[in-house]
């Protein structure tokens, strides 16, 4: 994540204010993302988020489809044997751990919420809902805020995954050591109604430009706004390299 530097309070405030120009420039680069017409079911989204941990979009989606083919309604997972789930989701990796989490989450959801449909969840104030969701074993801030953002259509929710965490820290908007700490610091700073746009555009940016290894600082629209000590002015793009920026991109709402 680069060397840490001690910054004055004034500099920290200035860095936080960079969120708005960052959002504007990403909008210029990627546009305003458009939501799917139909929001995914909240329990489908919750399970899909667990399946997405430590794997890629394609394998996570395959695991989801396999699980759905046997359990069309995920609430039935409350009675499932984790071992049979493990086989179905093996393609998504760390299947033993995920299968136990999935059965436990489905069981706790039934106990804690009774109904886990959009209307019932939307009646709970967002902060309380995040607290209730993170009270479930295996559900952290990222998963909880994904449920709010994608399944409830809450444009103030702001999930922080590894991409979002890495970029906000490199730029210097936050100085935190984990995605959860970044979430806690930044959640109230997201301009009202812009959680979906900023989240989606940061993830695109993290996959295409500000990648974990060898970020394309030389092709970065945020270069002058970025505090990262290790940002590099690398050689100019080779012929055709810009085309490689196009990558397949799939969000959790596509379950
Ligand atoms: S300058 Fe480099 S490190 Fe900074 S945001 Fe751009 S790509 Fe990321």
Assign residue 240 the CATH number of its domain: 1.10.1670.10
pLDDT at 3 over 50: no
**Into how many domains does the chain fold?**
2
If asked whether residues 197 and 250 sit together in one domain, one would say yes
| Residue nearest (by alpha carbon) to ligand 1 atom 3 | 231
If asked whether residues 142 and 213 sit together in one domain, one would say no
Q: Would you say residue 145 lies in a domain?
A: yes
Q: Which of 55, 59, 60, 98 minimizes the C-alpha distance to 80?
A: 98
Q: How many CB atoms lie within 10 A of CB 137?
A: 10
If asked whether residues 246 and 174 sit together in one domain, one would say yes
Q: Compute the distance between CA of residue 52 and CA of residue 64 in angstroms, rounded to an integer.
A: 9
If asked whether residues 147 and 199 sit together in one domain, one would say no
Q: Compute the distance between CA of residue 33 and CA of residue 229 in angstroms, rounded to an integer.
A: 30
* Average pLDDT value over all residues in the chain: 86
Q: Would you say residue 2 lies in a domain?
A: no
160 CB near ligand 1 (under 6 Å): no
Whole-model pTM?
0.84
Q: Which of 3-7, 49-53, 137-141 has the lowest mean pLDDT?
A: 3-7
The arithmetic mean of pLDDT across residues 221-241, rounded, is 75
| Residue nearest (by alpha carbon) to ligand 1 atom 8 | 210
Q: Compute the distance between CA of residue 170 and CA of residue 122 in angstroms, rounded to an integer.
A: 34
If asked whether residues 183 and 144 sit together in one domain, one would say no
If asked whether residues 169 and 100 sit together in one domain, one would say no
CATH of the domain at 95: 1.10.340.30
Q: Compute the distance between CA of residue 159 and CA of residue 146 in angstroms, rounded to an integer.
A: 6
If asked whether residues 86 and 184 sit together in one domain, one would say no
State the distance from the centre of ligand 1 to the C-alpha of 134, rounded, in angstroms: 32
Domain limits for position 203 = 9-33+158-254
Domain boundary among 151, 172, 193: 151
Predicted local distance difference test score (pLDDT) of residue 79: 80
If asked whether residues 57 and 83 sit together in one domain, one would say yes
209 CB near ligand 1 (under 6 Å): yes
Q: Which of 5-9, 181-185, 192-196 has the lowest mean pLDDT?
A: 5-9
If asked whether residues 145 and 195 sit together in one domain, one would say no
Ligand 1 pocket mutation pick from 165, 216, 229, 231 by most atoms within 8 angstroms of CB: 231
215 CB near ligand 1 (under 6 Å): yes
249 CB near ligand 1 (under 6 Å): no
Q: Compute the distance between CA of residue 23 and CA of residue 20 in angstroms, rounded to an integer.
A: 5
If asked whether residues 164 and 250 sit together in one domain, one would say yes
Q: Would you say residue 16 lies in a domain?
A: yes
Q: Compute the distance between CA of residue 133 and CA of residue 75 in angstroms, rounded to an integer.
A: 16
Q: Which residues of 73-107 are buried (b: 16+ CB within 10 A; e: fewer)?
A: ebeebeebebeebbebbbbbbebeebbbbbbbbbb
Ligand 1 pocket mutation pick from 216, 226, 233 by most atoms within 8 angstroms of CB: 226
Predicted local distance difference test score (pLDDT) of residue 92: 85
If asked whether residues 55 and 113 sit together in one domain, one would say yes
Q: Which of 199, 236, 204, 197 minimizes the C-alpha distance to 217?
A: 236
- Cβ proximity of 121 and 103 under 8 Å: no
Taking the CA of residue 223 as reference, the ligand 1 atom at the shortest distance is 1
If asked whether residues 225 and 202 sit together in one domain, one would say yes
Q: How many CB atoms lie within 10 A of CB 246?
A: 8
Q: Would you say residue 194 lies in a domain?
A: yes
pLDDT at 33 over 50: yes
Domain boundary among 151, 182, 198: 151
Q: Compute the distance between CA of residue 165 and CA of residue 129 in angstroms, rounded to an integer.
A: 22
How many whole angstroms from its chain centre is CA 88?
24
222 CB near ligand 1 (under 6 Å): yes
Task: For residue 207, give Cα distances in angstroms to 101, 162, 218, 247, 255.
Answer: 28, 11, 15, 8, 20
Q: Would you say residue 137 lies in a domain?
A: yes
């Amino acid at each position: 994540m680069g060397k840490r530097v001690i910054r004055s309070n004034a500099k920290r405030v200035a860095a936080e204010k960079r969120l708005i120009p960052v959002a504007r420039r990403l909008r210029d680069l990627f546009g305003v993302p458009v939501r799917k017409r139909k929001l995914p079911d909240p329990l489908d989204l919750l399970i899909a988020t667990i399946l997405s941990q430590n794997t890629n979009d394609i394998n996570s989606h395959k695991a989801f489809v396999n699980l759905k083919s046997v359990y069309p309604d995920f609430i039935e997972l409350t009675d499932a044997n984790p071992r049979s789930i493990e086989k179905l989701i093996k393609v998504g990796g760390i299947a033993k751990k995920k299968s136990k989490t999935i059965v436990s989450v489905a069981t706790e959801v039934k106990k804690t919420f009774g109904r886990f449909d959009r209307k019932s969840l939307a009646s709970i104030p967002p902060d309380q809902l995040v607290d209730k969701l993170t009270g479930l074993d295996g559900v952290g801030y990222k998963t909880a805020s994904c449920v709010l953002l994608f399944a409830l259509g809450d444009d103030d929710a702001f999930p922080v995954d590894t991409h979002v965490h890495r970029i906000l820290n490199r730029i210097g908007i936050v100085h935190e050591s984990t995605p959860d700490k970044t979430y806690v610091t930044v959640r109230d700073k997201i301009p009202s109604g812009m959680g979906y746009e900023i989240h989606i555009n940061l993830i695109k940016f993290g996959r295409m430009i500000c990648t974990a290894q060898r970020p394309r600082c030389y092709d970065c629209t945020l270069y002058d706004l970025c505090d990262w000590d290790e940002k590099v002015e690398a050689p100019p793009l080779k012929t055709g390299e810009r085309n490689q920026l196009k990558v397949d991109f799939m969000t959790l709402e596509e379950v």
